[in-house]
Amino acid sequence: MSTFAFVDTYVYTVTYVTDKLLLSVKEIVRESGLNTAKMSREWADLERAISTWITSRHLKQVQLEIFNPKTQKLVCRWDLEVLYGYGGDGSLWVDTDAIRYNIAKAGLIPSVCDYRITVTTARGAPDVEGWGSCTMYSTDGLSRYTIGTTIGGNGLGASVSYWGRS
């Protein structure tokens, strides 16, 4: 008689990548000089939505939009793109040093700024309570800078880029 054990590593990887995506966004908020309290209050909703959409493979990207609330203009945007089928060696890792280096490179954010977290999903994504459509701020006048892959797991990862002034 044979005994087999099956471990669903994808579920564990989804949990890991969801957590590291959110922690990366929180790091960007904090290191940019913004208050993380708003994000902390929204953490459970963010985690539920991102995990749901990664599990269903509908999440394309998480965006951190930093804007001036008086002018309603985008100051900076961070994009964390989900990479399905990411290669790697099966280990779970995150490179926060690359993110911190590029936060410093992007420059200080004016203290009057606010932020919001938006997502881009593929057509047919399941509905998640509390989430709906929105219009993203325009990136006109900003340049895109690619950092590269900063989160990796078993077949799943995330790459980071940001939009800022030249």
Q: What are the sequence ranges of the domains in the chain?
A: 9-120+141-164
Distance CA 134, CA 63 (A): 12
What's the confidence (pLDDT) of residue 1? 64
pLDDT of 159 > 60? The answer is yes
pLDDT of 7 > 60? The answer is no
Write b or e for each residue in 73-95: b if 16 or more Cβ atoms lie within 10 A of its Cβ, otherwise e.
ebbbbbbbbbbeebeeeeebebb
- Mean pLDDT over residues 131-140, rounded? 96
Q: Which residue has the tokens 């800022």?
A: 164
Residue 142's region, left for phi above 0, alpha for psi from -120 to 50, else beta, is beta
What's the confidence (pLDDT) of residue 6? 47
CATH of domain 9-120+141-164: 3.30.900.10
* pLDDT tens track for 21-76: 999 999 999 999 999 999 999 999 999 999 999 999 999 999 999 999 999 999 99
Of 63-72, 100-109, 154-163, the least confident: 100-109
